[in-house]
Amino acid sequence: MPEYIFLFSLVIFAIYAFVWIVRAALTDSDKSPWRRFWARTLDSYVVLFAYNLLITPFGIVYFMDNEITLTALIGYMLGYVVSYVLYESFMLSRFHTTVAKWAFGISLHAHTKNQITFKFAFKRLIKIFIYGQGAMIPIVNFFTHRKAFYDLVENGRTKWDQDMNLSVHIKDIHWAHYGILVGLTFMISSMGA
């Protein structure tokens, strides 16, 4: 019986946390740092899912029966990173948005008359990798995420968008739409993409 009480309280907490995330994201006005975070997260899962589907026939993904070698793991990770860079650079250069950004109502536009080119979008990703992701170094990553969040909330722009002279357009979306997207992101992440 006590385990049911624990599970029930855990479910209540998860629902409360989910509602808090949705409400916080929808009340952050036009800056929308949480929407941008969830869009990037969902995009990464979409690319990871497609990447795994693409390489599964070659037997690269599932190391379960064989010994995992460092070379295979590094190759897998580099392949994913290259796939993500190609995906986001292509989508931004052609459509000014990605699949998840579109779902969350986010699009990018250059302030100059120049369009967002593949090379321009690639440079933006390099800046995000350095200023937003902290080159994926765990402790550095925490501080760069925090700084990017506060830059966006305080100034209305991230360092990489300011450096690239981009504006981010955010459309209003219904809270239920947003909740479904965040729930979908959690669902995909729990499946292991």
pLDDT over 60 (residue 62): no
Place of tokens 């809270």: 175
Q: pLDDT tens for residues 154-183?
A: 888 899 999 998 988 888 887 777 778 878
Which is nearest to 107 in space by CA: 118, 96, 120? 96
CA distance to 45, 47, 153, per residue, from 22 (Å): 19, 24, 17
Token pair of 75 as six digits: 């190759």
To the nearest 10°, report the CA torsion of 60, 63, 68, 73: 40
Q: Is 100 helix (H, G, I), strand (E, B) or coil?
A: helix
Query: Residue 157 in contact with residue 146, Cβ under 8 Å?
Result: no
123 vs 62, which has greater pLDDT?
A: 123
Q: pLDDT tens for residues 78-127?
A: 999 999 999 999 999 999 999 999 988 899 998 776 689 999 999 999 99
Q: What is the mean pLDDT of the chain?
A: 81
Q: Is 108 helix (H, G, I), strand (E, B) or coil?
A: strand
Would you state the pLDDT for residue 96? 93
